[in-house]
Amino acid sequence: MSKPVRIALVGATGLIGMTLIRMAVQRPDIRVIAVSRREIALPPGARMEVLVADPEHWDDAIAAANADVLVCALGSTWKKSGKDEAAFRAVDQELVLDCARAAKAAGIRQMISISSVGADPMAKNLYLKVKGETEQALGKVGLQRLDVIRPGLLRGPREELRPAEKLGMIASPLIDLFLNGELRRYRSVHAETIVEAIIGLSREKMAGRFVFEHDGILRAARRGQFHPQPLTPE
């Protein structure tokens, strides 16, 4: 087997981060090093490092991870930020960009960033506007490769599930049937599929900036699926 891909993960306590940590237990082809502001409860069998530091020192932690790829799954909500734009931008924009710059300084060639479908710096919706502005700024950091994943509604177990999200997750399989053509990009996607896409993209060598919406996420996920090699009889 080839050398495992070393993944530095920021945003480890969210849905995508925790799903990546859980799935990595059965994945000898990747090694996850989480950078977090607090300790993380790891799943049984986890073989990984957690570097605990205040966000202002994450540059040192990202450098210490000695990673091949930085995965950024950072994200707040309007409610968690106290409905304060500056607080919201501090996490979803400024901290994301700080991590990208730290990765660049540490010699990490690739960053995979979780954004959102509809991200647009000209959007009237603040959430989508900030996501779009952040994507633009990430493209100027100078990393050799930048992969931006833009999922629709994320499905999967969450510690905190808002009523609207819970209703959306229940209804999403039916709603997805009506999202065709240009609307396919708004289809829901499971967190495990996003993680498989992350793993698939972590193997890519071509330089540049790439954006993946629903169908592109599914294609990347197929490349990231794990197929254990059968045991050879002695």
Segment 217-232, tens digit of pLDDT: 999 999 999 877 554 4
What is the model's pTM?
0.92
Angle, in degrees to the nearest 10, between helices 214-224 and 191-201: 70
Please classify residue 162 by burial: count the beta carbons closer than 10 Å to its beta carbon, then call 0-12 exposed, 13-18 middle and 19+ buried: exposed
Catalytically active residues are: 127, 131
Query: What DSSP element (H or E) covers 15?
Result: helix 15-24
69-72 vs 208-212, strand pairing mode: unpaired
CA atoms lying within 13 Å on the CB side of residue 43: 13
Residue-range domain boundaries for the chain = 5-154+191-224
Going by pLDDT thresholds of 50, 70 and 90, the confidence category of residue 234 is very low
For residues 70 and 45, the answer to whether their CB atoms sit within 8 Å is: no
For residues 42 and 53, the answer to whether their CB atoms sit within 8 Å is: no
For residues 99 and 8, the answer to whether their CB atoms sit within 8 Å is: no
Mean pLDDT of 131-159: 94
Mean pLDDT of 86-115: 97
pLDDT in tens, 20-52: 999 999 999 999 999 999 999 999 989 899 999
For residues 161 and 185, the answer to whether their CB atoms sit within 8 Å is: no
Domain 5-154+191-224 bears CATH identifier 3.40.50.720: yes
For residues 194 and 209, the answer to whether their CB atoms sit within 8 Å is: no
- Terminal Cα-to-Cα distance of the chain (whole angstroms): 19
Q: Across the chain, what does the average pLDDT equal?
A: 92
pLDDT in tens, 94-104: 999 999 999 99
